[in-house]
Amino acid sequence: GAIWYQGETNAGRAKEYRTLLPVMIENWRDVWGQGDFPFGVVQLANFMATTDQPSDPAWAHLRDAQLHTSLTVPNVGQAVIIDIGEAKDIHPRNKQDVGKRLGFWAQNKVYGQTNVIPSGPVYQSMKVKDNKVTLTFDVVGKGLQTTDGKAPAEFIITDDMRNWYWADAKITGKNTVTVWSEKVSKPVAVRYAWANNPVNPNLTNSANIPASPFRTDAEPK
């Protein structure tokens, strides 16, 4: 198998990366002739200064490209490290938790240890009713929770794809989170931890593995 811990220098070309990373994985598998061997991708950590307003930075798009690869290419897993990076160090020192999270995926998906939860929550779908969006997640274990016991943070919401607002959020079921804002009457999209360095990406599952940053809207063509 392989572990891939890279992406920082490609952050400005996230759309290209959505093609390049899957092609590279397929190429490696073809060259080595070992079939679809396990490939673990480490998503970009939190880095740089925090912001007090919703943003749309390159690092968020690159993380989305990595998530896309892990969801669409066979036998590819992802370790989310959005909570253990360092604002001023592009190479964060905590590698033990990186290894542990890669290990969780390998234990479950490679070695068949189904009692081990392989990752944090993964966004599946959304449903809009009135001014609220209910998000459904997979890989929740015994249920969604937060690291600090407070409401889920770092959600933003929009009604026109141009103006984004901080959103309130609440865990409303084992695998659902409802998101809303008084400033948005007809929401069309939600994003989570969509920043270079989100302040408090606190959504996890029962194994305390963080949810991946994600978007409900599609990548622009």
pLDDT, tens only, 60-73? 999 999 999 999 99
pLDDT, mean over the chain = 97
Tell me which residue of 188, 130, 119 sits closest to 156, measured CA to CA.
188
Give the pLDDT confidence score for residue 219 in this predicted structure. 79
DSSP-derived 3-state class of residue 92: coil
Within 10 Å of residue 107's Cβ, how many Cβ atoms?
A: 16
- Classify residue 150 by burial, with Cβ atoms within 10 Å: 0-12, 13-18, 19+: exposed
> pLDDT tens digit string along 134-187?
999 999 999 999 999 999 999 999 999 999 999 999 999 999 999 999 999 999
Query: At 113, is the pLDDT very low, low, confident or very high (cuts 50, 70, 90)?
Result: very high
- Measured between alpha carbons, how far apart are the two ends of the chain, in Å? 32
How far is 64 from 93, CA to CA, in rounded Å?
23
Helical spans, DSSP H, in 130-209: none
> pLDDT tens digit string along 162-173?
999 999 999 999
The verdict on pTM exceeding 0.95 is: yes
